[in-house]
A and B are shown apart, each in its own frame.
Chain A
């Protein structure tokens, strides 16, 4: 009895203490994480601190399934954005009081997709390749909106048709460069509605094509390029050493742009895409890559599975079309005069994954084609990646193949491609798993700014893929949704909720 009393007394005494301790907890926790933001408003006398508080824009997406890509998939987690960057990702993170909180329960968050070797989404229509993309792109381009609606937040473009001989219209399957090399292209962001924060990398890469088809002359020509680049690289090293040694009048070694670019690539400063789709071309490319130690990315390497181990040993990775190259590429014997096998396998990406070769996804039509929803163009980039899963690749690897892996190939992975603190806030809020064929993008952030909002731009907003739910309201079709007169959805005639579809 006495013991019970003591216990009660202890409890009673400790209650106020607990009550005091309870509210103190959330106060101290954010103070540890973000000391500047959690300060009370009485510090208004310090104008600078007040300014810093009001200018920093925080956005938190709470309770979502977060596909970080670089790390695990986090269930019921929160991602916190600060201005243009990701501030924090995790299950137990503190949210500043002035943050805009978005309910992500039942939804999925993943990095924005990166379209490698694309054409169109950056709004570079009718522009010359000599001008920098960031100074001339159209942030209101229709293709940019369509690509954003399908999850693409960054793209790699050739930067003008003149740059790449093999490319025509929107039907080019890849930019194939030339055997003597082409430097150019741009990697940029789909900053719909603003010109800020566009540039990621320009020129984007060096593009080489296999000389094997061209015969001995072409092979020798390309070899000569590699040798000149090697020499130039050595000369440049010597020159830099001289400069560092105090010899200021040392002459800089000079050569052509492609040679400099290849030397840069040997230094690891510039990506190299080597177009090689069949085994002979791949083997030739790997030979050069091994001999000259160039980290090439094999482009459209659909027969890479035949030499997977060698590819893994000598190339940086491959860019693939999981669904193959189309009619001629994927189905044998459509042309009876051509007896060559096509070399495509549904499990090429899976084989690459098992061998440890990084692979990125390319669409057959590298532009935006409005023929059908989910066609083999950029509007179906995530569907193309999902096809690799059908061939045996894992979901995580397939998602990586349209986010972090292309970012790594393009050497912009320090900024985009995964959800990590410090990286750019380029991410998607999706209604389902990113690679689900029913998944749609609800919101896309680029540099922390909402570049696409399904509610504002009603492209697919009316589509209801969940039959358990009521159909969504139809809105006038058009990608010009960011209009004042379209923001308000037209009310239903009777004002009632429509009955569920059976």
Chain B
């Protein structure tokens, strides 16, 4: 029976299930011994705790912990530490995985699954800052299964297209069921970050200069407006009404305040908000994480000239260079990247310049130069997800430190998305996204045995048996 045939039936079931258990787990029977974290009463104050005992835990944010215990309450980690010194509550459910090594779930900083885009297209000049992908997403069972099996527990879906491409959606994979899940249940945040893409050219250059000018004008107008507001109450002694407006400058101006003002002060109107532009304004003010897609080192030089004035703008740079053309050729611009301090997002593929016996490990060169690096799987390859760990292993073989490699696929991409405080590492307060390996994660023979997302095991798939 195909997933599509089950679709109409599942919709009804899903609705019932979502209503019953709050959308956390609708199609999965709790695995008998282990995944007891997501009880229906998970939201109550006295959350049941689970204690996971492992051989080693790579926390990424700190040192690796041998013979560790990870305490999980609800979908969050409450404590990570050595078994000897960590107090495990008596009521906690104990899960023994003492032969396994645990790492944080992998974070995919710029994926194009679920029909987010056909391919990464950098050409064009669109201003689609407010466009989200929720309505466009078309998840498949196959993709869900691949995600779960490859260890990606946080996935950013990136729109394609040149210019201001749109908002990046944040997805947490669910248990790959026989039937398709609701998009609403998958997408955790459909305005996680802003995606931009730039291809050198006169048209794109003019577009970005014009758009940046508009955004800059809005910011200066808003500053002038805020300053005017601050000055005005001093003269008219209305502090009580003004203070909330100061705290939330983005809200509509209070008409009552302005009318009694002098004519010249009436010019200080709150600037009109263009919804397509606002995410860019936030990104330029470093209030929203952003990802700028570029094709090559040459593109960076052209982009640098355009964004030179935006000092607060710190996007992560996603390089999509074609390895056949010698890209990713970021080693050419190491000094510039070092000066900018932006995180570089790259595929783990090695640079293969044709006809030349030079093979560069750009990724290692970036890390050696102190440039933050996030790795993402090959976008176009079907096997990209499944081979990802192997490709990272190849980088380690070319000199990358395995701790750096783990950070480049967990915490650094999380930081790119502004999620450094919630995913990508194992520490109290972080999401309980765990991967359980039967050995060192970057050992060629190591298998990924279990995937836990938000305290719930999504791999291996147990629902299929029922």
Q: Evaluate whether A135 and B202 lie within 8 angstroms (CB atoms) in the complex, with A478-B356, A480-B353 already known.
A: yes
Q: A136 vs B205: C-alpha distance in the bound complex, in angstroms?
A: 9
The residue from B201, B297, B360 contacting A483, defined by CB atoms under 8 A apart = B360
Q: With a CB–CB cut-off of 8 A, which chain A residues contact B360? A: 480, 483
Q: Evaluate whether A140 and B358 lie within 8 angstroms (CB atoms) in the complex, with A131-B201, A135-B201, A195-B305 already known.
A: no
Q: A123 vs B299: C-alpha distance in the bound complex, in angstroms?
A: 12
Contact status B356-A136, CB under 8 Å: no
Q: A128 vs B298: C-alpha distance in the bound complex, in angstroms?
A: 17
Residues 427-462 of B contacting A (Cβ, < 8 Å): none
Q: With a CB–CB cut-off of 8 A, which chain B residues contact A131? A: 201-203
Mark each residue of chain B from 283 to 323: 1 if its CB lies under 8 Å from any CB of chain A, else 0.
00000000000001110011001000000000000000000
Q: With a CB–CB cut-off of 8 A, which chain B residues contact A138? A: 296, 298
Is A493's CB within 8 Å of the partner chain B?
no
Is B200's CB within 8 Å of the partner chain A?
yes
* Chain B, interface SS category: helix
**Which of A127, A139, A194, A195 has most chain B Cβ within 10 Å?**
A195
Q: A128 vs B360: C-alpha distance in the bound complex, in angstroms?
A: 30
Is A473's CB within 8 Å of the partner chain B?
no
Contact status A483-B200, CB under 8 Å: no
Is B365's CB within 8 Å of the partner chain A?
yes
Q: With a CB–CB cut-off of 8 A, which chain B residues contact A415? A: none
Is A132's CB within 8 Å of the partner chain B?
yes
Is A71's CB within 8 Å of the partner chain B?
no
Contact status A136-B302, CB under 8 Å: yes
Q: With a CB–CB cut-off of 8 A, which chain A residues contact B296? A: 138, 140
Give the shortest distance, in Å, between B64 (CB) and chain A (any CB): 30
Residues 110-130 of A contacting B (Cβ, < 8 Å): 123, 127-128, 130
Is A476's CB within 8 Å of the partner chain B?
yes
Is B331's CB within 8 Å of the partner chain A?
yes
Q: With a CB–CB cut-off of 8 A, which chain B residues contact A141? A: 298
Give the shortest distance, in Å, between A129 (CB) and chain B (any CB): 11
Is A482's CB within 8 Å of the partner chain B?
yes
Nearest B residue to A194 via CB reads B301
Is A246's CB within 8 Å of the partner chain B?
no
Is B131's CB within 8 Å of the partner chain A?
no
Size category of the binding interface on chain A: 20 to 34
Residues 58-90 of B contacting A (Cβ, < 8 Å): none
Nearest A residue to B205 via CB reads A135
Q: A131 vs B302: C-alpha distance in the bound complex, in angstroms?
A: 14
Nearest A residue to B334 via CB reads A484
Q: A477 vs B355: C-alpha distance in the bound complex, in angstroms?
A: 11
Give the shortest distance, in Å, between B300 (CB) and chain A (any CB): 10
Q: Evaluate whether A195 and B329 lie within 8 angstroms (CB atoms) in the complex, with A131-B201, A131-B202, A140-B297 already known.
A: no
Residues 457-487 of A contacting B (Cβ, < 8 Å): 476-478, 480, 482-484
The residue from B203, B204, B334, B358 contacting A480, defined by CB atoms under 8 A apart = B358
Is B227's CB within 8 Å of the partner chain A?
no
Using a CB–CB cutoff of 8 Å, the interface residues on chain B facing chain A are: 200-205, 296-298, 301-302, 305, 329, 331-332, 334, 353, 356-358, 360, 365
User: Given A137-B200, A138-B296, list of 13 further CB < 8 A pairs?
Assistant: A131-B201, A131-B203, A136-B200, A136-B201, A136-B202, A139-B298, A139-B301, A195-B302, A476-B357, A476-B358, A478-B356, A480-B356, A482-B332
22 contacts between A and B (CB under 8 A): A123-B298, A128-B201, A130-B202, A131-B203, A132-B202, A135-B201, A135-B202, A136-B200, A136-B202, A136-B302, A137-B200, A138-B298, A139-B298, A139-B301, A140-B329, A193-B332, A195-B298, A195-B302, A476-B357, A476-B358, A480-B360, A483-B331
